[in-house]
A and B are shown apart, each in its own frame.
Chain A
Amino acid sequence: MSKLYTFLKYFFITFWTVFVVAPFLWAVSTSFKDFQSVNSKVTYIPWLDFEPTLEGWRVLIKSPAKGGVDIVEPYFNSIFVTCTASLISIVLGTLAAYALSRFTFKAGFVRNNDITFFFISQRIMPPIVLSIPFFIFLSTIGLLDSLLGLVVVYIVLLMPIAVWIMVDFFNRVPKELDETALIDGCNPYQAFYKVVLPNSIPGLIVAGMFCIIFGWIDFFFAFILTFTEVQLLPVKVVALNSSITPWWSLSASALVSVAPLIIVAFIVERYLSKGNLSGALK
């Protein structure tokens, strides 16, 4: 029984790993190929099957006039929009979450839970429902097809994530910790940034990671709310797919577009495994 279980466990882990990693390996391999290696016969392993070349990667940094795929500008656009929106979402979201976790609000029938739900409800609606209001809103204030407009929209999308994660996190930090800080001579603001915030770093990192991921991978809003002036990376990569871009350049651009997420995941994984806070506050 337990042997069968072990076998099945490793079988599925292996299966899933192959399932997830294979496309990446395929993309990595393809990005080093040229016309002949792609079209002649089925090849996988560089140097053995085919002669690797850096042509696919060189194209990424060439200007379009010289046959490049023009990915640099969308790349920096994506970094700017994702980072700015994530940062603002984390700052505002953390403050909102702390208030929701520690203070009691009453306005008519509205209570803390209702406010928290209002935040989260922004993510419950399908994006398509939000697209038209966002479009009208941005066009009214003249921010359609601009970086600033995208930042505004992304804050609306990312802040619920930050609030949701941080409310949960703050609820697990005992209220007595804040009270002790007050008793020890901190005013409420000092208690927040001298005691609560330093103990919330794991939560902030998780929230930040989710914001960056959701911001970085968004295709839908980047597609609807931009036309010619501004382009974000996911839209650009998808656009390459439908044009005459060769496979090797397409593979290389797909790989550079997921690279930041892989780096973020590694950093965060290392940081989170250092130790969690729940034990510290018992």
Chain B
Amino acid sequence: MNLIGEKISYKPDEQFHLNDVSFNFKKGNLYTILGRTLSGKTTLLKTIAGLLNPDQGSISFEEKDFIKIPVWERNVAMVYQQFINYPHLNVYENITFPLEQRKLSPEQIKKDVDEALKTVGLVGFENRKIQELSGGQQQRVALARSLAKKAKILLLDEPLVNLDYKLREQLREEFKRIFSEGLSQDTILIYSTTDPQEVMELNGEVIVLDEGRVLQKGPAKEIFENPSNLKVAEISNDPPMNVLKGSKNSKNLNFENISLEIPNHFKNLDDKDYNFGIRASEIKLDENGEEFEIELAEISGSETLLHLKRGNSKIIALIEEVMNFKIHEKVKINFNANKFYAFGEDEKLVSSPYGGTNG
């Protein structure tokens, strides 16, 4: 009874948009697809919706071959990153449109639409024109239309990306509530985003996509704690995880003329070259630390992002207070070796502070 995709490939031009993607989505679960722009997220969602036909591979749902069913008979719902509504209809008509298309009874339609309007908080907006609504409200209408359909597969393609920061935060909170209350156990929810924070907050099963390929699958916590390779570590952290080329010998970790004590979780590693990974938030200012040169300092809200350089290594540090720095100034920082990741020269995870390895 699951939505199963097997070895799906889609290659409309020279590049793969989807490359050998397989999945098994179970009802009642939330799946997030994490990937950068052009990683194939939208293509995957459109393939599931039926707007694109893959060149290879199969999709089945409830034991039926999904690819043979045209879009308009699949009963899926999709919310786009652009706010797509029917401009010639008002809010109420926008939400009833798919229900009337399915020829439901007027009583049923009214009940479903009222419920959906309540869920997204647009009661009282029924007769408004779409053009009169703000971006956030337009996206709520699109969401209400998708919810009212009670589709078995609900696809959300970066629904928050075109909203401003405040509204995004607010709607994200509401999404969490809607997803936990407003959806039946029959629904498969698939949510794509570029934002690692969104993935962690929604806390579903994650698929990390890059250049059309699945890099890692697993619960959000697992992706965060044990990214299977450097690419995943980059994509699933914002700012991306810092990478330092270095080596381990019997006594120390060495990189850029810095020596650190070997942390406990590295004790069993072979002595050789590694790519060490450290999150920006695990780097602290410290008078007794190592000297780095500031290339750029950005203040965002209550945090300061420092772009630092030493030798050939460039790293980003996230300082949790607002501070003023001059460019080319030297600062001293301290690495918390206990939070170091080790990736092999093939970029695969060798050791993580949370105990996971990739074999």
> Which residues of A come within 8 Å of B, CB atoms?
174, 176-177, 179-187, 190, 195, 198-199, 275, 277, 279-282
Contacts and interface: CB of A to CB of B under 8 A. Distances in A.
A183 B71 contact: yes
B101 A198 contact: no
Contact of B149 (A184, A187, A275, A280): A184
Contacts, number: 64
B51 interface: yes
B98 A282 contact: no
B97 A281 contact: no
Given A280-B131, A282-B83, A183 B88 contact: no
A198 B97 CA distance: 14
Contact of B84 (A180, A187, A275): A180
B151 to A, nearest CB: 9
30 contacts: A176-B80, A179-B46, A179-B51, A180-B85, A180-B86, A182-B50, A183-B49, A183-B72, A183-B76, A183-B98, A184-B72, A184-B98, A184-B101, A184-B145, A185-B75, A185-B101, A185-B102, A186-B72, A190-B72, A190-B101, A195-B86, A195-B88, A198-B88, A199-B87, A199-B88, A277-B87, A280-B87, A280-B131, A282-B82, A282-B83
Contact of B78 (A183, A187, A198): A183
Interface string B47-82: 001110000000000000000001111111110101
Chain B, interface size category, equals 20 to 34
B87 A174 contact: no
A182 B97 CA distance: 11
A198 B73 CA distance: 23
Contacts of A187: 70, 72
B153 to A, nearest CB: 10
A187 B70 CA distance: 9
Contacts of A183: 49, 51, 71-72, 74, 76-78, 98
Q: Which of A176, A180, A277 has the most CB of B within 10 A?
A: A180
Interface string B30-58: 00000000000000001001110000000
B130 interface: yes
A277 B73 CA distance: 30
B152 to A, nearest CB: 13
